[in-house]
Amino acid sequence: MRYQLDVPILEHKQLAEFEFELTLKSPEIAREARPGQFMQILYDQSYNPFTRRPFSVFHVDPDAGTFSIVYLARGVFTQGLRNKQVGQTLSVLGPLGQEYSVTTGDITHVLVAGGVGAPPLYFLAERMVEQGIPLSKIKVVNGARTQSLLVGIEEFDTLGVSVIYTTDDGSLGHQGIVTEPLEEILLEAGPENTQVYTCGPTGMLRAVGDLCVSLGAPCQVSVETMMPCGLGVCMGCVVKIKTDKNEAGFNYLRSCFEGPVFDVHEVIWD
Ligand SMILES: Cc1cc2nc3c(=O)[nH]c(=O)nc-3n(C[C@H](O)[C@H](O)[C@H](O)COP(=O)(O)OP(=O)(O)OC[C@H]3O[C@@H](n4cnc5c(N)ncnc54)[C@H](O)[C@@H]3O)c2cc1C
Ligand code: FES
């Protein structure tokens, strides 16, 4: 079920220099949201900025009826978002899009996050633990430019899953990029015995995707595209997905509707 609601801000916390967590009250969304789905958010009744922006769900507390998002204040929309105060409301449309599908069986689940791509993967890890997947079968690789931009350190720690951190500057964990520890995990477990789930900047997604394709590891990717409507109407968010049903060899699918989660083996990156 999808909602359009004005929801109050309960907490607005700065996590790092440009990174913030917003906790919002909405029992409906806390109940319905699934890992990988997103919310289209609008904060200004004067419609400036005019279009909503998509944000993934980070943490859900169904008992308290709350959910949170983490955002990086980088452009016009998110710079405006950071001025919003506790007690003010945001217009939230969602949950939207397709969730990650948790593969069953005796496999190792590998969650690969980059920067503000970590929120939906933390939510996914939380649901996996609730579903009774053993902690030894969940591995997280969480990367960012520097330690302060890593999302979810405390939360993953509390959940008890094993996390390998990577940073470009070596300020925490492995100095380098997420594909290096990912390759080790895949080779150790055997790529066919794994399921990779990933979210992050497009360059990282392509690198993770290329590695999984070359090793034959299944991988679900949440793509980051602009989403002018988020409702499957405008076609402003399409991605090329392989098909053998036409001569071109691909269809354009809407990342807001058929996605944002796709099988990486079917994505054609342009
Ligand atoms: C499924 C999904 C989940 C996401 N989850 C997160 C998250 O959890 N945290 C996070 O920080 N980011 C997330 N993002 C990215 C986030 O939506 C963008 O960072 C945000 O839209 C950009 O806001 P901004 O203030 O940084 O940039 P802006 O300055 O608002 O936009 C940058 C440029 O893009 C254009 N633009 C952006 N959106 C639209 C649009 N809808 N229609 C027309 N033009 C547009 C603007 O005109 C501008 O030129 C997610 C994206 C997707 C697709
Ligand atoms: S954002 Fe309009 S169709 Fe996807």
Contacts of 19 (CB under 8 A, 6+ apart): 70, 71, 72, 73, 116, 148, 149, 151
Q: What is the pLDDT of residues 48-89, one digit of tens each?
A: 778 899 999 999 999 999 999 999 998 999 999 999 999 999
Same domain, 135 and 216: yes
**Token output for 26:** 């909405």
Domain limit, last residue, from 222, 239, 254: 222
pLDDT reported for residue 77: 92
Mutate which of 48, 50, 224 for ligand 1? The one with the most ligand atoms within 8 Å of its CB, which is 224
Backbone torsions φ then ψ of 174, nearest 5 degrees = -70, 130
Helices 202-215, 179-189: crossing angle, 10 deg rounding = 20
Our answer on whether the CB atom of 254 is closer than 6 Å to any ligand 2 atom is yes
Same domain, 117 and 204: yes
**Which residue ranges of the chain lie beneath pLDDT 50?**
none
Same domain, 201 and 122: yes
Q: What is the pLDDT of residues 233-258, one digit of tens each?
A: 999 999 999 999 999 999 999 999 99
Residue 103 lies in a domain: no
Same domain, 238 and 216: no
Our answer on whether the CB atom of 228 is closer than 6 Å to any ligand 2 atom is yes
**Domain containing residue 126: CATH number:** 3.40.50.80
Q: How many domains does the chain have?
A: 3
Residue 255 lies in a domain: yes
pLDDT reported for residue 45: 66
Supply the residue whose CA is at minimum distance from atom 35 of ligand 1: 226
**Domain containing residue 42: CATH number:** 2.40.30.10
Q: Which domain holds residue 88?
A: 3-96
Domain limit, last residue, from 96, 131, 157: 96
Same domain, 154 and 213: yes
Instruction: Please tell me the distance between residue 170's alpha carbon and the centre of ligand 1 in angstroms.
Output: 28
- What is d(CA 159, CA 179) in angstroms, rounded to the nearest whole number? 23
Residue 213: count other Cβ atoms within 10 Å of its Cβ.
13
